[in-house]
Structure 1
Amino acid sequence: MGIGNTLRGDDATGPKIIDIIYEKLVNSDVDSDNIYLLNAATAPENHTIEIREINPSHLIIIDAVEFSDKPGSFIIVDKKQIDTFNFSTHTMPISFLINYLEDSVGCKILTLGIQPKDMTLVDTISDEVNSSIEELAETIIKNI
């Protein structure tokens, strides 16, 4: 599940990675029958019914996260520390969503954060973040 606002620069990272993974899976021989890609935009909580219906065993959440590192760096965010990080532009804390999905679906959730450079009102992703997106998409595909 990619989270982010495509009109706020690097906040578009989550949806962009979902798009890249989709393109790579469509053009590969990877068995993707059990892979569901979701662009949750800025309101991932609006997709909880859909996620419950899919009933995944695993869920990867991808979002821009401020963790004071070099732009384009990525991190696996530990659930216990999730509230200490500044996630991108959401209406609800990401920890609420994670707790709800773990309780209602029972899936294992991995949260990947990418350090943004610029989340102002621009419709392009910074070069630093854009160069990391491809690498992260490849890593996800290799591990699903």
Structure 2
Amino acid sequence: MPEKWVSFLKKELRGLERLLVLGTGNALKADDAAGLLVASLLERRLSRRQKSRIKILRAYELIDSYHRRIKRLKPSHLIIIDAVDLGHRPGSIMVTRLEPGQKKEKVGGEFYLLLEKLAAESSCRIYLVGIQPDSLDFGHPITPGVKEACRKVAEGLIQLAGGR
């Protein structure tokens, strides 16, 4: 039986035309690199056919500088993957749809302004896949539990994109 977040996205991605997956984070701060790891895993594992419908970007911490590029790609759906501290068990995965005017507690600053701008200027549906970090220590690698969660997210997105 698929995990709840996979079932949620499967339902939400009906009518998918062009998906953009945006991995964010700081590669030098342990689990903050979760979104970047998922993007790398997808780049390596998606088939050529899947890559024709799914574009992958790594935005690091500079998500606001990708605004024009996101607009130019004209995705029907945008999935942002990031480490999000929700106070859950490390490696926990959550998914939420981000709607204009509905500020989420854990989404703030420039990130929120970009989402508002994208929502106002396009008709794409925007989702946040958050992975609960264990450590954000500078200079440390991703922890095993978060690395496993990244693998699950990548595999779930590959399944949603039509298998291998």
- What TM-score do the two structures reach when normalised by structure 1? 0.88
Q: Higher relative contact order by CA 8 Å / sep ≥ 6: 1 or 2?
A: 1
- Structure 2 distance, partners of 1:121, 1:105, is 36
- What TM-score do the two structures reach when normalised by structure 2? 0.77
* Unmatched runs of 5 consecutive residues or more in structure 1: none
Task: Report which stretch shifted further, 60-69 or 71-80.
Answer: 71-80
C-alpha displacement at 1:123, in angstroms?
A: 4.0
C-alpha displacement at 1:78, in angstroms?
A: 4.6
Identify the residue that residue 141 of structure 1 maps to in structure 2.
158
- Structure 2 distance, partners of 1:122, 1:95, is 27
| Structure 1 letter corresponding to 2:95 | I
CA contact (8 A) 1:6 1:123 kept: no
C-alpha displacement at 1:105, in angstroms?
A: 2.1
Task: Report which stretch shifted further, 73-82 or 130-139.
Answer: 73-82
| Matched positions, count | 137
Which of 13, 24, 33 aligns to 1:12? It is: 33
| Structure 1 letter corresponding to 2:74 | N
- Structure 1 distance, partners of 2:83, 2:151, is 15
C-alpha displacement at 1:2, in angstroms?
A: 0.5
Cα RMSD (Å) of the superposition?
A: 1.7
1:47 matched to 2:71:
no
Which of 83, 90, 114 aligns to 1:71? It is: 90
CA contact (8 A) 2:97 2:126 kept: no
- Structure 2 distance, partners of 1:69, 1:129, is 12
Which of 102, 105, 108 aligns to 2:122? It is: 105
What SS class does the counterpart of residue 10 from structure 1 fall into?
helix
| Structure 1 letter corresponding to 2:134 | K
* Unmatched runs of 5 consecutive residues or more in structure 2: 1-21
C-alpha displacement at 1:94, in angstroms?
A: 2.4
- Structure 2 distance, partners of 1:31, 1:58, is 15
